[in-house]
Amino acid sequence: MADSTIITTENHVESSDSNGETHSGSITSVSNTSAVMIASLKAPEILEEYGPNLKLLDCNSQVAELLTIIRDKNTTRSDFKFYADRLIRLVIEESLNQLPYSDCRVETPTGATYDGLKYQAGNCGVSIIRSGEAMEQGLRDCCRSIRIGKILVESDADTHEARVVYARFPDDIASRQVLLMYPIMSTGNTVLQAVNVLKEHGVPESCIILSNLFCTPIAAKTVVGAFPKLKILTSELHPVAPNHFGQKYFGTD
């Protein structure tokens, strides 16, 4: 595939969204950047400072193109949702690879035996409302009967700090592996509150996998520093997060 052009021109933003996430960024413009150069930003030596539990999708040409389309201000809402769903599916599938598996043996229709793998019992998803709900269908497309809980985090009107105002989980969530779904991490504050609530409900930190599309280095350091046993799967580390994601995905921009 030919080199992809990344358009990341952003205005300075510093505000809190409906999830309580404080967004901050400066004017940035990157153009005519190849997938090779993008991949260099995700080299192992850079990831070392975030620890072994932060994992990035391999930045091949397909992923680079999806990231470019989602960030392009000229992308139509229909195309945006289509390509965002493609990226979500890739992130979800790689997140599922982080779950524990056990050996199993099955019999084929021809009577032969096959040694394979199966998920260990007890997986569920939890989406952080509202943008995290965009990732629910991608999870259901991979795991048809998986149960999904929800968390709503909002910014306090007086202190502007993120706080949990609603949480609904499966009754036995403490015994499950949890895929926490949140596509955009600018500061990490929303995720900190969500993980704290999961831990209060008995979920071990090591049993939580954060499925994320876009993450800033500041957010990654914040979350990894607070929860070193938490696993994070994201498609990109970039200082400017596409904070328009939720509005454009749901058609409220």
Instruction: For residue 233, give the nearest of 66, 58, 84 by alpha carbon.
Output: 58
The residues that bridge with 107 in the sheet, in sequence order, are 113
Digitized pLDDT (tens) for each residue of the chain, 253 residues in all = 333 333 333 333 334 454 445 444 433 333 334 444 444 444 465 567 888 899 999 889 999 999 999 999 999 999 999 999 999 999 999 999 999 999 999 999 999 999 999 988 789 999 999 999 999 999 999 998 899 999 999 987 787 788 899 999 999 999 999 999 999 999 999 999 999 999 999 999 999 999 999 999 999 999 999 999 999 999 999 999 999 999 999 998 7
Phi/psi of residue 114, nearest 5 degrees: -135, 125
Q: Which residue do the tokens 């967004």 mark?
A: 23
Q: What is the pLDDT of residue 160?
A: 76
Q: What is the pLDDT of residue 44?
A: 61
Q: What is the pLDDT of residue 108?
A: 97
Backbone φ/ψ region at 202: left (φ over 0), alpha (ψ -120 to 50), beta: left
Q: What is the pLDDT of residue 155?
A: 81
Q: What does the block give as tokens for 120?
A: 């260990």
For the chain, which residues make up each domain, given as ranges? 13-250
Distance (Å, whole) CA 104 – CA 33: 45
Q: What is the pLDDT of residue 59?
A: 84
Pick 13-250's CATH classification: 3.50.50.60, 3.90.950.20, 1.10.40.50, 3.40.50.2020.
3.40.50.2020
Q: What is the pLDDT of residue 47?
A: 64
Q: What is the pLDDT of residue 202?
A: 97
Distance (Å, whole) CA 219 – CA 185: 6
